[in-house]
Amino acid sequence: MKKLHSFAYLFALILTVPGLAAEAEELHPLMTSKYWGNLGVYFSERDFDASAQGSIAGITRSIDFESNTGLDDSPDLFIAEFGWQFSPKWGLALQHFESNRSASRTLSDAIEWRDLVFDVGVRIEAESSMEITRLFFARQFRDKGPHSLRLGAGIHWLSMGASLAGEATLNDLSREFRRSVVKTDLPMPNIGAWYRYSPSRKWLFNLRADWLSASIDNYKGGIWNAAAGVNFSPWEHVGFGLSYQFFQLDGKIEEDRWRGEVQTTFTGPIVYLSGHW
């Protein structure tokens, strides 16, 4: 929650910079364009904790995949966005990013995963994956000035998976090389708000927040997403942007392919090239 408060503080500080708070005669192209798109890199810090329930052992303790399996906790992710203002008041935005990681290491602590126990000293192979696609429909509330507020609803399509492989004991009976894979696909609706401020033709500042807490089919949990950033457009159709994004998913899954709990967080800056026309 402290990270979310920092977004509002950062944006308020930006508006106090001399020369930026005055209303401008011209607006940034993103305020008036019908189409816009971003391509960039997400320099994220990721934390992924999970548990998987076995048919006999029950819910196992949650494990930190990064520290227990040696997965990179700072992956650089490709991120893409596209927006379409299809009417004066209504528009949509589509965003996609994904993270796929793998590592191998010798365990210093035992890991319980489904019906398997990987003991201390075992060499394991670990993989984790997450793919997030967000579609957001919003109504624009804007006077003919430098401010734009959009309120709306959308959907997150989440694909998550994790696997462990190595010499493992199955239900305390035998030990041999085994691989255990869990995965799930979740369509998650959400509500959100998007605020833009254009003090001049070349500069644009924005804030965005999305939220959901719900029980849907075999999933219970919530999503938090927030971002704050700035875009500089020296040319009519091309600009450069920098933003800071926080995304958190926390939930319980009750499916045949994955019965357990998961909590994952992405936090970090995004550097991108923008186009608007």
The CA-CA-CA angle for residues 260, 266, 268, to 5°, reads 170
Q: Looking up tokens 């894979």, which residue turns up? A: 181
CATH (residue range 2-276): 2.40.128.90
The enclosing H or E element of 13 equals helix 2-15
pLDDT digits (tens, 9 = 90+) for 86-98: 998 999 999 998 8
Model's pTM, two decimal places? 0.80
**For the chain, percent of residues with pLDDT exceeding 90:** 46
The CA-CA-CA angle for residues 20, 12, 140, to 5°, reads 80
pLDDT digits (tens, 9 = 90+) for 208-243: 999 987 777 778 888 899 999 999 999 989 999 999
